[in-house]
Structure 1
């Protein structure tokens, strides 16, 4: 994996949220588009093990406090949740995934949609996890950033401190 796909880690800031991405979208586009296909399970699991697990281990070594991981809308479609594969890989001694705790009430697909459409059709997230905790927010792709910002807002309203977000790929500057 490292020979073929060396990560190009970058940080993008959305208001008060820093979003760390491992790749530019175009680098992984063909792999990312498998998320709703049978082979997507194996591909996302491999990406999670190769990228999110080492990140979590290194992060865990540098903190003594408990941190939770919240995935954006870990909805099970096509037999699995691609975001859940990413969050599950981050489990370490002091990083704990809170699976399916932040779910979209609006099931509209944003793929290929412009900013205006996204703004007119919010995800309407519902959070059912613990309060007064620190979390890392996880998603597969950041495009406009609207989804991550909406998720952060809902988490803050529920007494959750979002440390930063982590994604596989960033569409900006592609």
Structure 2
């Protein structure tokens, strides 16, 4: 196969050289609620085409590369008093894989345990290109199962307004879970 960036022969969909040259993550912090922060690794403008790969059959390979470069490195340096659960936002399977489950899987470490299939949206509304008012008027209506009294991290691929993450946080807190922060690949406001 060929690298989708440089078109050189490669076993990977994005060769190691292009990963090093174009996909070096940088850490960004944004307060989305009082004393509640989202951490991300890329500006949306830098990886938007790659994020859109989630709609195609090859997207899982791209998400694994991005997660390996960012989420995995984060997990290797994350230190906490005890184990926390990484919760993917609505890790449904579309196009034969779940992009949020892939991200969360790469957080697996000494202090982080991936907990998939527990936070599901009952309203499958699409937010792409929609403003904050639309997002607030059309909540995801998350349903949480099998998670009580735990310390958690919320995971998603993108933060725009923060409405989805805050809705997920509210649902987790209703079952006495502590959410210490959220983690996304990209931030639309950088």
Deviation at 1:137, TM superposition (A): 0.6
- List runs of 5+ in structure 2 lacking aligned partners: 1-18
Query: In the alignment, is residue 9 of structure 1 matched against residue 27 of structure 2?
Result: yes
| Whole-angstrom distance in 1 between the partners of 2:145 and 2:135 | 24
List aligned pairs for 1:1-150, cutoff 5 A. Answer: 1-16=19-34, 17-59=36-78, 62-150=79-167
Q: Paired residues, what number?
A: 171
| Whole-angstrom distance in 2 between the partners of 1:160 and 1:84 | 20
- Deviations for 1:70-98, whole angstroms, at most 9, x for unmatched residues? 01000100001000000011111331111
Deviation at 1:130, TM superposition (A): 2.1
Structure label with greater radius of gyration: 2
- Deviations for 1:40-67, whole angstroms, at most 9, x for unmatched residues? 11000111111111111110xx224111
TM-score by length of 1: 0.94
Point out 4+ residue stretches in structure 1 off by more than 4 angstroms.
Answer: none
| Whole-angstrom distance in 1 between the partners of 2:62 and 2:96 | 14
How well do the aligned residues superpose, as a CA RMSD in angstroms? 1.1
Deviation at 1:8, TM superposition (A): 2.5
TM-score by length of 2: 0.87
Deviation at 1:7, TM superposition (A): 1.7
| Whole-angstrom distance in 1 between the partners of 2:150 and 2:105 | 18
Aligned 8 A contact 1:135 1:162 in 2: yes
For the residue of structure 1 that corresponds to 2:20, the secondary structure is coil
Moved more, 138-147 or 126-135: 126-135
Moved more, 141-150 or 3-12: 3-12
- Deviations for 1:5-63, whole angstroms, at most 9, x for unmatched residues? 2223111111132000101100001101111101111000111111111111110xx22
For the residue of structure 1 that corresponds to 2:21, the secondary structure is coil
Aligned 8 A contact 1:102 1:129 in 2: no
For the residue of structure 2 that corresponds to 1:27, the secondary structure is helix
| Whole-angstrom distance in 2 between the partners of 1:96 and 1:142 | 22
